[in-house]
């Protein structure tokens, strides 16, 4: 009986960690919001060359993937639905994020070429 309580307490302490909650908030909301704001800046940019906004955007995307990995690996990360996440969920997250981020970045960066 005491072993069951020990396992439950360890699981709860991982999920209730303040840093774990902050990581989850970052990859679910704040990081995506910052990436979107940066993407708007790229879209509105007059320059047709790559600049600091592009570097910041891709750094945020990579930071989102790293944050998600740390959340799953060390803090008992959950999916957006509240279920325990696995490394396969991280692979899916990273794949979808890179594909969508790349498409949105390409659209923002090269939309002026398509419109004019």
| Cross-strand partners of 84 | 78
In angstroms, the CA 97 to CA 89 distance is: 12
pLDDT for position 115: 66
pTM of the model: 0.81
Residue 1 has pLDDT above 50, yes or no: no
What's the maximum distance between 2 C-alpha atoms anywhere in the chain? Answer: 71
Say if CB 61 and CB 35 are below 8 A apart. Answer: yes
Q: How many distinct structural domains can be found in the chain? A: 1
User: What is the sign of the dihedral through the CA atoms of 90, 94, 96 and 100?
Assistant: positive
Residue 79 domain boundaries? 2-115
Q: Answer whether residue 105 shows pLDDT above 70.
A: yes
Asked whether 65 and 50 are in contact (CB, 8 A), the reply is no
Query: Does the structure show a pLDDT above 70 at 111?
Result: yes
pLDDT at residue 113 in the model: 72
Tens of pLDDT, residue by residue over 41-90, are 999 988 878 899 999 999 999 999 999 999 999 999 888 788 999 999 99
- Is 91 or 10 the better-scoring residue by pLDDT? 91
Q: Which of helix, strand or coil describes residue 85?
A: coil
- Is pLDDT above 70 for 5? no
pLDDT in tens, 9-34: 455 544 467 888 899 999 999 999 99
């Amino acid at each position: 009986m005491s072993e069951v309580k020990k396992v439950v307490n360890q699981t709860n302490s991982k999920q209730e960690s303040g840093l774990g909650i902050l990581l989850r908030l970052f990859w679910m909301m704040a990081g995506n919001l910052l990436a979107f704001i940066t993407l708007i800046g790229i879209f509105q940019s007059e320059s047709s060359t790559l600049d600091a906004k592009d570097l910041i955007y891709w750094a945020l995307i990579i930071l989102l993937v790293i944050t998600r990995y740390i959340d799953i690996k060390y803090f008992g990360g959950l999916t957006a639905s509240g279920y325990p996440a696995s490394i396969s969920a991280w692979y899916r997250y990273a794949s979808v994020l890179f594909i969508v981020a790349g498409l949105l970045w390409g659209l923002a960066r090269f939309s002026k070429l398509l419109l004019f």
